[in-house]
Amino acid sequence: TVSAGGSVTANAFYGDGSNLEGVASSGIGLSTRTTITKLVNGIGIGQTSNTAFTDGRKSWMLQKVGISSAAWVVLYTDQAAMTADASRPHTTDPTPGSGVIAEVRTTTTGFSTFIMSPGVMGWNNDATPSNNIWVKITNNETSAANITVSLNIVQLEA
């Protein structure tokens, strides 16, 4: 048994960390994959919905994006970045440092999955970091649509 205050360093650690306090039961610093979804009802042809996944994480690794319909989906660091990017067409790359984390686009009707390879690190950059993942969803269908976007993410920060 070791009792210490402050920081402790070591040349090596042994075991799975299951007996350490404040550590996930699955091991030291391990987080699990999760899928979060956002449904936006009745987006008109070519129309955009600016919204947020409220069940995201403060920081996360993006593995996959799923879209139920033809759409352009853009993920942002914060609401200000989403607002500033409002007039950018899909044919123009975002400016580096603009707060655009990732974007995917399809004109194919039906469900599409985009594998992010390599994974993309994202985070919430609000003045007080929250679990919001800011997202713009533009309908690329030929009629109004209810569009569901799913994100496969791994939590990086509690």
pLDDT for the residue 112: 97
pLDDT for the residue 25: 47
Predicted confidence band of residue 77 (pLDDT cuts 50, 70, 90): very high
Is the pTM for the entire model greater than 0.95? no
Q: Is the pLDDT of residue 115 over 50?
A: yes
Query: What's the average model confidence in pLDDT over 5-31?
Result: 54
Predicted confidence band of residue 26 (pLDDT cuts 50, 70, 90): very low
Kindly report, residue by residue over 84-106, the tens digit of the pLDDT. Answer: 999 999 999 999 999 999 999 99
pLDDT for the residue 157: 87
Predicted confidence band of residue 158 (pLDDT cuts 50, 70, 90): confident
Kindly report, residue by residue over 140-155, the tens digit of the pLDDT. Answer: 999 999 999 999 999 9
User: Is 69 in contact with 141 (CB distance < 8 Å)?
Assistant: yes
Q: CB under 8 Å to 129, separation ≥6 — which residues?
A: 58, 123
pLDDT for the residue 31: 74
Query: What's the average model confidence in pLDDT over 30-51?
Result: 93
pLDDT for the residue 42: 96
- In DSSP terms, which residues pair with 152 in a beta bridge? 35, 64
